[in-house]
Amino acid sequence: MPSDDTTTLLKGNVRKSYVFDPFLPFLTSSVWFYFGGLWLLLVIASGGGFVLPLLGACTLSTASCHTLIEVNVQILTALFTAINLYAFPSRWNRFNGLFGEHGGETGIDWRGVQVPTSETRSLMQESYDPASFYHIDWTNRLIITSLLLTSALAQFVNQVFHCIYDTYDEAMTWPGNLWDNLFFGLSLVTMLLGIILEACYDSSARKSKSFPPTAAHVVVERIQACC
């Protein structure tokens, strides 16, 4: 069990002193859980509004179909920027923590606090980070964190270019077709690589130790509770 000092650190004012501390617990809060569900529905709806006209399913005039495509692209871009804004503080904390006093220690998070096992879950159940992440070796944590941080930064740049080239014609001609797709592709590829690597190493870490449920487990539990 953690010492009294660790408990004080987790429950006291030390956490609140970090500017980049995660804004709100995403999965452990019903409000943010449903907000995440709404975000996903909007992504699906806007994705459909973007893909269907490209497949010839738009019965409007050509100009109207082009406008429909661009509007949905702008909505999708804003949605991906929003979710990256939410995730950025945690990703920055992870990256910055790797070079801190306890960055090379296994089982110690970016604040220098021992991460919980299932027996100590209640102390950090509102933490954004999964405890098992800090049982991945330092080099792989650096690779994962760098990929996810790059993904977020690339999406922010992508958002800027979508504001500059904000019409269908501008987005489909040079140089808009380069800048509107380059950073989107970079963000997507680095995000997928980071997620896949973290999932693989997380799975390996969980084989040897007991940790609180993953985000996927929490989502399944909440969906089951709603049915």
C-alpha span between 225 and 50 (Å, rounded): 33
Per-residue model confidence (pLDDT) at position 199: 83
pLDDT, tens digit (0-9, with 9 covering 90-100), for 180-208 = 899 999 999 999 999 899 888 877 776 66
pLDDT score recorded for residue 222: 61
Q: pLDDT at position 80, please?
A: 95
| Distances, alpha carbon 29 to alpha carbons 25, 53, 176, in Å | 6, 37, 40
CB 114 within 8 A of CB 107: yes
Q: What pLDDT is stored for residue 75 in this prediction?
A: 96
Looking at residue 117, its pLDDT comes to: 58
CA distances to 35, 50, 171, 195 from 181, in Å: 28, 15, 9, 21
Q: How much is the pLDDT for 184? A: 94
pTM of the full structure: 0.74
pLDDT tens per residue across span 126-159:
444 566 788 888 999 999 999 999 999 999 999 9
For the chain, domain boundaries: 84-226
Per-residue pLDDT at 76: 96
In this prediction, residue 136 carries a pLDDT of: 86
Token reading at 26? 């995403």
Q: Are 155 and 84 in contact (CB under 8 A)?
A: yes
User: How long is the chain?
Assistant: 227
What's the pLDDT score for residue 220?
61
Q: Which residues pair with 114 in a beta bridge?
A: 108
**Spans of the chain below 70 pLDDT:** 1-33, 116-131, 206-227
pLDDT at 212: 56
